[in-house]
Homo-oligomer: A and B are copies of this chain.
Amino acid sequence: MISFENDYIAGAHPQVLNRLVETNLENLSGYGADPYCESAKDKIKKACAHPEAEVELLVGGTQTNLVVISTMLHDHEGVIAAGTGHINVHEAGAIEYTGHKVLALPHTDGKLMPEVLKKYLADFYADETYPHMVFPGMVYISHPTEYGTLYTLDELTRLSELCRSYQVPLYLDGARLAYGLMSQKTDVTLPDIARLCDVFYIGGTKAGALCGEAVVFTRKNMPPHFITSIKKRGALLAKGRLVGVQFDALFTNNLYFEIGRHAIQMAEKLKMIFHQKEIPFYLESPTNQQFVIFDNAQMEKLRQQVGFSFWEKYDKDRTVVRFVTSWSTTEDDLKKLEILLSELK
């Protein structure tokens, strides 16, 4: 069955898997102390044009969020996020499990707008009871957001300036960063992100790896004894090579960016198909996640033959669903979908 259910329905990109096979029998030290992890980190720093960056490799996205946020927040602080932020909705309370509140703010198509943040920070310190409240200690954004939308360079710059004026680190969740960077509608580059964020992660799982996320600290601000804190959260991989080799492959010959570029091409074609079939869009997304609205009956019928995700009820009769492209999406998948949509009417 063809599937647009997610960007992690297939295994690893063949070039990534191939490197795992090639290096499989080498004897390597555990816990990330191997040359592939080193090489991956170096290549990431180069791709970020940020030589002073510190990079660490983790296994999954929620895990990365909880490790980064809980080790960077002070005791009295919480993390600001758009109400739609992954950490606020779809991580089963992982941040709260570390003892910190997610301070949810209103969003605009999944984005935390600079003016909203500005007002919140000003109001917080103007409220005389603030010592009884959770202090804003970090700002979390996802790019692309959970709705596939992207911050402009101007928005990212304003968020960054605001955060720095309040000495609050800006953290960017890049679970789908490949698709953000290669969108045809973005003016934000990886070096921009490294320059403007205090910490961010480059998602591997949703961009061709079997697993793995690369956290980048940009201001010599990696928490001390970070490995121990990772271990304490059960997030330290014994065979660190598993993630090291994969990121080394992803950042060799621009594979990471190629993966993003391919998925964006497929997404653009997908959008065209929906337009042609007059399937209404829920919002305009410039990345690999597309949100469209189906009649419930159509949705149930289509679901028998193609994979996609329920997103939310639109109204009594209609549902918002999500279609996602990835490195493994093919022209053939799109053709099949087109035919199925034609048959739907």
Contacts and interface: CB of A to CB of B under 8 A. Distances in A.
A9 B30 CA distance: 7
Nearest to A228: B76
A178 interface: no
Contacts of A78: 93, 96
A24 B30 contact: no
Interface of A: 1-3, 5-6, 8-12, 14, 17, 20-21, 23-30, 59-67, 70-71, 74-76, 78, 89-94, 96-102, 104, 123, 126-129, 131-135, 205-206, 210-211, 223-225, 227-229, 231-239, 241-242, 307, 309-310, 312-313, 328
A225 B135 contact: yes
B237 A94 contact: no
19 contacts: A11-B20, A11-B23, A11-B26, A11-B242, A70-B75, A89-B133, A90-B133, A92-B132, A92-B229, A93-B99, A93-B232, A96-B99, A123-B313, A127-B310, A128-B309, A131-B231, A205-B238, A210-B242, A211-B238
A29 to B, nearest CB: 7
Given A100-B93, A232-B76, A313 B126 contact: yes
Contacts of A313: 123, 126
Given A10-B25, A234-B63, A307-B27, A101 B90 contact: no
A102 B223 CA distance: 22
A92 B21 contact: no
Contacts of A242: 11, 210-211
B29 A75 contact: no
